[in-house]
Structure 1
Amino acid sequence: MSMKKLAVVLAAGVTLAGCAEAGTTPAGEKGTDGKAALSQSLDGLQAGNYTFSRTDGGLVEGAVDVPGSSVIRQEGRPSILRVGDAVYLRYRIYGEAQEQYAKLFEQYSDKADKKQAAALAKSKEILTILDGEHWVKADYKRLVAAADAEDLSGMENLPPTPTAAKPDVTGASDLVAAVVTATREGDEITGTLDATKVDPQLNLLTNDPYYAYGPRANAMPFTATLDAQGRLAELTLQLPGQLKDAASQAPETFPSDAPTEPAGKPIVITISQYGGTAAQTAPEGATDLDPAAYEQLTNDTD
């Protein structure tokens, strides 16, 4: 090789090395800024067909096929099944206290007049319908009204409705929107998110993260795993222990060694069956929810 050709080769090598050093690390390699990859990983959810689960103190499982159907099953909270325009509810009214309420209704019916006895009998009948095992066809607007009532109602925990405009009901998009730092290594992205930026109405975290966790709420660690197509497969958010005394000071003056409870269980969201989730069908034998049940639902946790 002539000295002239050698000089050209060496110059090209130096140029390429300089570009690699000054430019961005190739996607998926160690040290890559993961925010863009994390944001892109949500694209699969926007198609509106997926299966998911979420642990957040309870278990939530769902199958979404927008716009035709969806089902979201919640442990200890209302479950909602949608098939076309029809909405079905599965819920154990009064929760663990249901048997106690049944005994109370029975006890008071012996002392009630005819009208009161009929009302108590109806209330007891509703317990057998809203038993947490069977689906009943419901008026969704009336369920929402029960949730909005001033009395305490388990309907406050109604799951969100997937739509073409907002197909993601996993909670992943809302958590990712609060991400502060993110670094990608292969198919894994780690970083922190600011829990105070997450809408409390979503019921993903406590209503006031700073009050519960102090400054640590601003930098909660997470890990996201992507599938072979770069779609979000799992998102884990580590929850710190809650403060023994709720935070009442500004972040800059809050003591870093404030005593806390043990760390809580992490929130884990898993997503699969992108584009392969089957449509839901109407449950056999489902009856219409008795109109009297909606009033009972307005204060079922009071």
Structure 2
Amino acid sequence: MTIRRFSAAVFAATLLTPGLAACNSTGTGEAGASASPTVSGSAAAGSASPGSASPGTGDAKQALLNSTNEIRNGNFRFTMTGVGTTAEGQVHQPSQSAQIKLSIGDASSDVSMKLDLVHLKPDSWVKLDLGGQAAKLPGVQGLNLGKYQHLDQSRIKGNRNLGFDFEKVDPAGSEVLTQGVTEVRQTGEGAYAGTIDVTKAAEAGSLNAELIKALGQQAQSVPFTAKLDPQGRLSELVVQIPASGQNKAQDIRITYADYGAATAAQRPPADQVVEAPKELYNLFN
């Protein structure tokens, strides 16, 4: 799901104008592209060619590529953070389920939003809570705030905002990111640093096309650090996004834990479930 920060005016227009798609606002509240994390599937194994590494970095590059193998099994917990946004959740492929909780903005923002997404194939639900000026806008009552809204699968198919692809189970797309590594060196036991050509990682869930475009030439050499656990599995990836245009420099931090030990997502209680109204789809499509 693409994490966006909506202005109150845009949010109001979205609620009150049928069919108006949510704008691609910045995660920092400034004009330009956002480096806010997103939730969507990574590319399937082998779908992208690894980036060329500098001489002498082959072993380190391969270690990073191998570190994402376990993610493909779809049994882990994760977190993602960026400026003003956080995401955390679990993926449990054995039960074809996932749960993702997102928080956008804070008490000082003109719009803040919390979402609790539950996917239990073939069903999906979302609970939406709003803060700031957004909670006071006309039309908000039509969003069934505080209830789990059952989603029409035909209306969210391929939707990176509300859907989840169990064929591409990594919300952050770390496999795609590591394939874009252009230089890497080992800095300690299980620790690495280098650069990523993010133009080769546009399908990663933690980036978006607008951000990559705004970076210009900087997009071809974005610094990163990574940590592997004792079993060689990725435990942390920090992509250090440089300032570009009106966007401030920021870190996108992704963590993984509990490989093979996540639990199945739970279906929301029936008395807390309603069908999602058209206003909800208008907001996120």
Q: Give your verdict on TM over 0.5.
A: yes
From the CA coordinates, give the structure whose radius of gyration is larger.
1
- Residue of structure 1 equivalent to 2:7: none
Counterpart of 2:233 in structure 1: which amino acid?
Answer: R
Does structure 1 residue 199 correspond to structure 2 residue 206? Answer: no
- For 1:301 and 1:277, the matched residues in 2 are separated by 28
Pairs aligned (count):
217
In the superposition, relative to structure 1, how do residues 204 and 101 fare at CA in structure 2: closer, same or farther (>3 Å)?
Answer: same
Instruction: Give 1:46-57 correspondences, 5 Å limit.
Output: 46-57=72-83
| Structure 1 residue 210: Cα displacement | 5.2
Counterpart of 2:91 in structure 1: which amino acid?
Answer: V
> As a proportion of its length, which structure holds more strand?
2
- Residue of structure 2 equivalent to 1:142: 155
- Residue of structure 1 equivalent to 2:162: 158
Q: Is the 1:77–1:158 contact (alpha carbons within 8 Å) kept by the matching residues of 2?
A: no
Counterpart of 1:176 in structure 2: which amino acid?
Answer: T
Q: Is the 1:196–1:209 contact (alpha carbons within 8 Å) kept by the matching residues of 2?
A: no
- Residue of structure 2 equivalent to 1:114: none
Q: Over residues 3-33 of structure 1, what are the superposed CA-to-partner deviations in whole Å (9 max), with x where a residue is unaligned?
A: xxxxxxxxxxxxxxxxxxxxxxxxxxx9774
Q: Unaligned 5+ residue runs, structure 2?
A: 1-55, 104-112
Does structure 1 residue 97 correspond to structure 2 residue 134? Answer: yes
- Residue of structure 2 equivalent to 1:80: 117
- Residue of structure 1 equivalent to 2:62: 36
Q: Over residues 266-300 of structure 1, what are the superposed CA-to-partner deviations in whole Å (9 max), with x where a residue is unaligned?
A: 0000100001111111122232315xx12x23433
| Structure 1 residue 206: Cα displacement | 4.2
> As a proportion of its length, which structure holds more helix?
1
- For 1:210 and 1:65, the matched residues in 2 are separated by 30
In the superposition, relative to structure 1, how do residues 142 and 43 fare at CA in structure 2: closer, same or farther (>3 Å)?
Answer: same
Q: Give TM-score scaled by structure 1 length.
A: 0.63
- Residue of structure 1 equivalent to 2:258: 273
| Structure 1 residue 48: Cα displacement | 1.1
- Residue of structure 2 equivalent to 1:297: 280
- For 1:301 and 1:46, the matched residues in 2 are separated by 27
RMSD: 2.9
Counterpart of 1:70 in structure 2: which amino acid?
Answer: A
**Sequence identity (%):** 28
Q: Over residues 170-229 of structure 1, what are the superposed CA-to-partner deviations in whole Å (9 max), with x where a residue is unaligned?
A: 3212211211111123210111001212226x5533424454123211100000000010
Q: Which has the higher contact order (CA 8 A, sep 6+)?
A: 2
- For 2:275 and 2:212, the matched residues in 1 are separated by 40
Q: Is the 1:56–1:204 contact (alpha carbons within 8 Å) kept by the matching residues of 2?
A: no
Counterpart of 1:299 in structure 2: which amino acid?
Answer: N
- For 1:64 and 1:37, the matched residues in 2 are separated by 23
- Residue of structure 2 equivalent to 1:242: 244
- For 1:174 and 1:32, the matched residues in 2 are separated by 17
- Residue of structure 2 equivalent to 1:286: 272
- For 1:297 and 1:55, the matched residues in 2 are separated by 24
Mean Cα deviation higher: 188-197 or 280-289? 280-289
Counterpart of 1:170 in structure 2: which amino acid?
Answer: A
- For 2:258 and 2:57, the matched residues in 1 are separated by 29
What secondary structure, in the 3-state scheme, does the structure 1 residue paired with 2:241 have? coil
